Structure 1
Amino acid sequence: MGKKAQQKRAVKHAKQAKQRKAAASRNAAMSTAAAQQPPLDDGFAPSPVPWGDYATVADALTAAEDAGGVLSCFVSDDLNVYELSLRRGEDGWRYEVALYPDQVLRDLVKTSWLDADDQDQAVKQLHLALAAYIPQNLRQPGLETVQRPSTTSMPRIGWAQSLPMAGMQTWEDVVLAEKELPLFELAPLADGPDDMHWGRPEDTLALFREHGLSPRACVGCRAPVTDRHPHWPGVLVSMDNEYGPACGRFYLAGKSPQKVGHILDATQALTAGNLTGKEQTTQCQNCDAHITDQHPDWPGVWTKASGSNSPICAIVGGGGDDATSYDLIDCVYPHHPVGADSPAATAITTAKKTGYFSQPRWPGLTMPWA
């Protein structure tokens, strides 16, 4: 787990007690309809309703009917990632809350899927693994794993629970009913296990393996990794949007200011190498840095020919909505030498158009990826 993930985990632990009491206080931008309602006595904040343009439940259900039977909204905040939906089923309309894996657990889902020889089969295996991930004391009838439409090729799989809309006349009725969903008890574990709540990260890797997946984690930073990322073929890379292929070596001695790669065995943690100055170099067409593919720590990978020898040209910026950002397969972007091809060329072009291709530079500040 990188420093960024560790910082998020610390913040999350500090807020979990409050989260259990106010499970739906996950988006400050609530709809006008929900915001106009008085706060409930126990501090539970109403969920942001995905049909915020509709003043009544009846209006929202009419809109859902017109939309083909489903009306939903993706909600992301500092704590968890949800999708709230109105869905028409065989027994009538239901209100569904889907909770999605986040942070380390989400990265494990992504890398396990990318590593799979049969990715369709991997989706089924992920369903089983995430179902088994639910602690025994939280398993309830109606709490199940679901797959919802993704905005990318990356599958969107999580846990969901629903309740019937029959008899609900106001949004406060929905909020009061939602509050009782056992799904929210699972929320503190959605970003991955820890010793405090579930078990060791190694236990989750073992759980995924028991269900036919092949998860791997770097022994230097404990991040889930894959060498089948379409933008980094053959390179062990995490889905972290700052470090990517670079390992912080947080759990091993010998940390270096130079960027070094992920490792699966501690015996591979060699001292960072250096360039001789005689290597052939060219220029990256996106960041103008002089780069080489002859660095001893990064054979065949384009890295900066000076400084930190970073293989990372740019990071993922905030170019889209929450749903697209969650589904994104991109992590960080590699250097692209002038006049040569790159497996990430198409993704970089798309990222530049949508705003995901980010190269923040501030004088005197060294970014972890730079």
Structure 2
Amino acid sequence: MGKRAQQRKAAKAAARDAVQPFVARTGGTPAGPPAQRTAPPAPAVAHYLWDPESPWQTFLDQYPTPGDAIAAAQDDGALTCFSFEEIGMECERGFRRGPDGRWVYEVVLYPRMQLRQLVKTCWFAAEDPGLAVQQLRRALAAYVPESLRHPGIEVVERPSTTEVPRIGWAQSCLADPLETWEDVHLVEKGLPLYDLLPLLDGGPDEARCLGAVAERAVALFRGYGLAAHACAGCGMAITDRHPHWPGTWVSVEHEAGPCCERPLLERVDGEQRVGHVLRTADARPAQAPTGRERTRTCRNCSEQITDEHPDWPGTWTTAGGHIDPMCATMGNMGHADADEYDLPDCVYPHIPEDCDSPAATAIAAARAGRYFLQF
């Protein structure tokens, strides 16, 4: 398991206070009851900027000066580095040629954890992906409280390694005065952009469970025309239009997928997996199989599976014992931070032998890319 996966598991397991929700005005679009909240203050960034074990340090080693990086970027007009920092910050740094031809140093902070899951599920659910990107940009701009807004911060879309868009908050400065990386560091650590750090994960509302997306964030995104949904059982952002789980409500969190432990309701036995629900009234107790379900063999894990389990109608799940619709998780076997951030997948479904599946191509790529992890 890679460093990012270890940190993700530690963050999920650690007990911490719920992040206070905040409300940002939405430019006239209704997004829930008005309130004035101020985000918690960000810690001083000087102590943790530029993680020495991150890909950014490799970038610095490859390009001894900012001038060297700009020279390497001349043909493409940009040279950037995506990295997952030790503190849990997912960012992209580098140089871009501006519209006026001058070079700028740019830092982009990206949504992470619950907020990233909300962004992805909204994009998957969209009828028009291009329009959804514009809606997401507007929603993320409104997500920032007025007290933290700055004229130099904008919401941008940057190139992704997959079809899933990469959208975040960016701030830049002219590169001309930056002769050394120390110059860059001194400028970067003073950027107002870093005041947004406490907001990046879309933290849970007060008294909700760790892993839940803030209810106000869901309401805000809906106010911009996005299909934002949160599970009534666990609070995770979910969609029923994930390309590899069509018709099944699924989270894009890398361990839960279609399964809900219902921490907001009465928890279920860990041996009996149940699905996400939109309404509390739909959260019925786990059902036992009848024993008359037809079964097939999964082509990837060789388990006996059925699509007739009463808790999972139409979704292939193991037929007995540990009921589980997940064949494998993404895992983390050393692929690049940017590749993992952009992946459309959360967990992978079972596929019966001699049957086609919209996930088949993705699973083949996952096996080749070493991020198909079976237990």
TM-score class, shorter-chain normalisation, is: 0.7 to 0.9
- The CA deviation at 1:3 is 8.4
1:3/1:84 CA distance change after superposition, 3 Å = closer
2:190, 2:42 → 1: CA distance?
16
Matched, 1:68 2:81: no
Give the equivalent residue in structure 2 for 1:35: none
Contact conserved, 1:26 with 1:80, CA < 8 A, in 2? no
- Which of 212, 223, 238 aligns to 1:225? It is 238
- Which of 316, 336, 356 aligns to 1:321? It is 336
- The CA deviation at 1:173 is 0.7
Count of residue correspondences: 338
1:1-370 mapped onto 2 (5 Å cutoff): 6-7=12-13, 10=16, 19-22=43-46, 24-25=48-49, 27-29=51-53, 48=57, 50-65=59-74, 67-78=75-86, 79-89=88-98, 90=100, 92-195=102-205, 201-257=214-270, 258-319=272-333, 320-359=335-374, 361=375
- The CA deviation at 1:150 is 0.6
TM-score, length basis structure 1 = 0.85
Query: 3-state SS of the aligned residue for 1:217?
Result: coil
Q: Deviations over 1:299-347 (max 9, x none)?
A: 1111111122100000002242111100100110001111111221111
Q: Which amino acid aligns with 2:53?
A: A
- With a CA cutoff of 8 Å and minimum separation of 6, indicate the structure with the bigger relative contact order: 2
2:360, 2:188 → 1: CA distance?
45
1:150/1:298 CA distance change after superposition, 3 Å = same
- The CA deviation at 1:88 is 1.5
- The CA deviation at 1:358 is 0.8
Contact conserved, 1:144 with 1:159, CA < 8 A, in 2? yes
User: Tell me, which stretches of 5 or more residues in structure 2 are unaligned?
Assistant: 1-7, 20-39, 207-212
- The CA deviation at 1:147 is 0.3
2:155, 2:67 → 1: CA distance?
28
Q: Which amino acid aligns with 2:279?
A: D
Q: Which amino acid aligns with 1:250?
A: P
1:12, 1:178 → 2: CA distance?
29
2:154, 2:58 → 1: CA distance?
22
Q: Deviations over 1:338-359 (max 9, x none)?
A: 1111221111111111111111
Deviation larger for 142-151 or 49-58: 49-58
User: Tell me, which stretches of 5 or more residues in structure 1 are unaligned?
Assistant: 32-46, 362-370
Deviation larger for 47-56 or 349-358: 47-56
Q: Deviations over 1:108-138 (max 9, x none)?
A: 0000111111111111000000000111111
- The CA deviation at 1:10 is 3.5
1:304/1:134 CA distance change after superposition, 3 Å = same
1:93/1:11 CA distance change after superposition, 3 Å = farther
1:30, 1:193 → 2: CA distance?
24
1:298/1:348 CA distance change after superposition, 3 Å = same
1:243/1:326 CA distance change after superposition, 3 Å = same
1:195, 1:23 → 2: CA distance?
28
1:139, 1:228 → 2: CA distance?
33
Contact conserved, 2:42 with 2:194, CA < 8 A, in 1? no
Query: 3-state SS of the aligned residue for 1:59?
Result: helix
Query: 3-state SS of the aligned residue for 2:133?
Result: helix
Percent identical pairs in the alignment equals 48
2:149, 2:323 → 1: CA distance?
48
Q: Deviations over 1:169-210 (max 9, x none)?
A: 2111110011110111101211113457xxx81111111111
TM-score, length basis structure 2 = 0.84
Deviation larger for 299-308 or 2-11: 2-11
